[in-house]
């Protein structure tokens, strides 16, 4: 009975995904591809999704021309006066699309499609290897394209697939691999650094009847081994850039409260009492200003830190639901950060699909997937299509952002709750699915 119930659930999910994936893929790719091929002007339709790729193009050109990485005048004109703030792996990923010449943005989109396709295939094979019948990769692919044009104009989707791989590595007790995947994802973009804490805590937490001292050296050694690839990349770029890579990284720390963040939404709801205005920040993001903004952002950030630490310890002590562990950390980070751009959500959706498909009961699985799909579609609506309304603090744009942020809170709280039944348990170094999994 259990097996038939799980198979019916999996086939129902697969059927729903197959029904939606083609129209949502067309919605995400066709407008941006036509824009990148210059069929539309840069400012038409999805033009606001393109400038980041042009920024990466100027960095890649600077690198191949021999400019000092992350140094003054590193980027080529007209961005020469700007600081390149992305981590080293983003810079390296920006180089291959130069082969497309004047169609750099199109080449960048093709590169992302290739890597995303490869990543989804690897995720599918990894799920097969650990015996997960749920169509995780198919669901992750749907949620990624539901985010719209950002899926092929930003690198965050690659981070999401790496983090899903890290959760699967935790599931199989391959701690060094899990830490390596998370740290390499951070070197694509530092926005996912919140996932490092729960993974490290999980890796060093004693299992079963172990005391903290038993095997601690081996566990710490696995963490150190996992950190090694990222440390080597950072060291190489530190030498190559003459230390400028660290100065560039610190630039991202001096950012205000972005208009799409939860603190901005709360500040907007308080605007009948406290005046709220929007402006363009130094790094091109739309930010909000008002007497209430700083306090709201600080309170939300404190809540986020407490939730992140609690979740890291709680899930590690529990010793199961590794995908939920990583997804919860990412969701908390996104819900409480003062800097939230739409593409950041791409990093959440693959590991959320994994958590829904492997560590949740049937009802919660559908709730997580439906909430994530709605969140992705609302994000696509507000960026790029209605971003002008968002930037002006118009009711239409701010309402869509508020609904999206509400769904993010719902997802976060759902991940934090204990499951209705045990999910995955550690046994003999592997995570096994108990007979009650899949029932709600």
What percent of the chain lies above the pLDDT cut of 90?
A: 75
* Whether 353 contacts 143, CB under 8 Å: yes
- C-alpha 200/C-alpha 382 separation (Å) is 35
pTM of the predicted model, to two decimals? Answer: 0.92
Q: What is the pLDDT of residues 270-325, one digit of tens each?
A: 998 999 999 998 777 899 999 999 999 999 999 999 999 999 999 999 998 999 99
- The number of residues in the chain equals 440
Q: What is the pLDDT of residue 423?
A: 54
Structure tokens at 123: 């995720």
- C-alpha 383/C-alpha 403 separation (Å) is 14
- C-alpha 83/C-alpha 108 separation (Å) is 21
Q: What is the pLDDT of residues 409-436, one digit of tens each?
A: 999 999 998 675 445 444 334 444 432 2
Q: What is the pLDDT of residues 153-200, one digit of tens each?
A: 999 999 999 999 999 999 999 999 999 999 999 999 999 999 999 999
Tell me the helix, strand and coil percentages in the chain, rounded to 5: 70, 5, 30
State yes or no: pLDDT of 31 exceeds 90. no
Going by C-alpha positions, the residue among 425, 191, 140 that lies closest to residue 331 is 191
Is residue 157 classed as helix, strand or coil in its secondary structure?
A: helix
Going by C-alpha positions, the residue among 280, 381, 400 that lies closest to residue 46 is 381
State yes or no: pLDDT of 64 exceeds 90. yes
Going by C-alpha positions, the residue among 267, 215, 310, 305 that lies closest to residue 401 is 267
What percent of the chain lies above the pLDDT cut of 70?
A: 92
* Whether 213 contacts 163, CB under 8 Å: no
State yes or no: pLDDT of 252 exceeds 80. no
- C-alpha 310/C-alpha 308 separation (Å) is 5
Q: What is the pLDDT of residues 7-16, one digit of tens each?
A: 556 777 778 8
State yes or no: pLDDT of 331 exceeds 60. yes
Q: What is the pLDDT of residue 42?
A: 61
Higher-pLDDT residue of 32 and 193 is 193
Secondary structure (H, E, C), 253-307: CCCCEECCCHHHHHHHHCCCCCCCEEEECCCCCEEEECCCHHHHHHHHHHHHHHH
């Amino acid at each position: 009975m259990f097996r038939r119930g799980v198979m019916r659930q999996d086939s129902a999910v697969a059927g729903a995904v197959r029904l939606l994936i083609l129209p949502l893929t067309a919605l995400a790719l066709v407008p941006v591809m036509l824009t990148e091929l210059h069929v539309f002007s840069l400012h038409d339709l999805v033009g606001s999704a393109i400038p980041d790729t042009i920024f990466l193009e100027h960095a890649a050109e600077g690198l191949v021309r021999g400019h000092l990485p992350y140094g003054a005048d590193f980027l080529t004109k007209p961005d020469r006066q700007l600081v390149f703030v992305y981590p080293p792996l983003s810079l390296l990923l920006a180089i291959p699309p130069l082969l497309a010449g004047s169609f750099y943005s199109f080449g960048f989109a093709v590169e992302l499609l290739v890597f995303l396709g490869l990543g989804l295939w690897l995720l599918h094979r990894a799920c097969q290897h650990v015996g997960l019948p749920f169509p995780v990769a198919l669901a992750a692919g749907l949620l990624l394209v539901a985010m719209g044009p950002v899926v092929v104009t930003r690198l965050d989707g690659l981070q999401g697939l790496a983090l899903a791989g890290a959760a699967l590595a935790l599931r199989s007790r391959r701690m060094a691999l899990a830490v390596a995947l998370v740290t390499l994802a951070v070197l694509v973009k530092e926005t996912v650094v919140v996932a490092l804490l729960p993974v490290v805590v999980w890796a060093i937490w004693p299992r079963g009847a172990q005391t903290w001292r038993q095997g601690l050296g081996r566990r710490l050694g696995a963490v150190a081994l996992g950190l090694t690839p990222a440390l080597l990349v950072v060291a190489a770029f530190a030498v190559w850039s003459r230390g400028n890579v660290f100065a560039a990284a610190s630039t991202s720390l001096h950012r205000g409260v972005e208009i799409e963040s939860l603190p901005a939404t709360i500040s907007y709801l308080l605007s009948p009492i406290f005046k709220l205005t929007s402006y363009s920040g130094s790094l091109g993001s739309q930010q909000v200003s008002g007497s209430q903004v700083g306090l709201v952002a600080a309170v939300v950030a404190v809540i986020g830190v407490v939730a992140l630490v609690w979740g890291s310890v709680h899930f590690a002590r529990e010793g199961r639901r590794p995908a939920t562990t990583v997804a919860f950390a990412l969701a908390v980070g996104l819900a409480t950060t003062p800097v939230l751009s739409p593409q950041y959500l791409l990093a959440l959706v693959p590991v959320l699909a994994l958590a829904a498909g492997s560590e949740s009961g049937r009802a919660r699985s559908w709730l997580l997937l439906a909430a994530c799909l709605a969140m992705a579609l609302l994000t696509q609506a507000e960026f790029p299509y209605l971003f002008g309304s968002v930037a002006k603090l118009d009711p239409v744009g701010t309402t869509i952002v508020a609904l999206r942020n509400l769904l993010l809170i719902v997802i976060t709280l759902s991940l934090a709750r204990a499951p209705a039944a045990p999910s995955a348990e550690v046994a003999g170094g592997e995570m096994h699915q108990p007979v009650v999994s899949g029932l709600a």
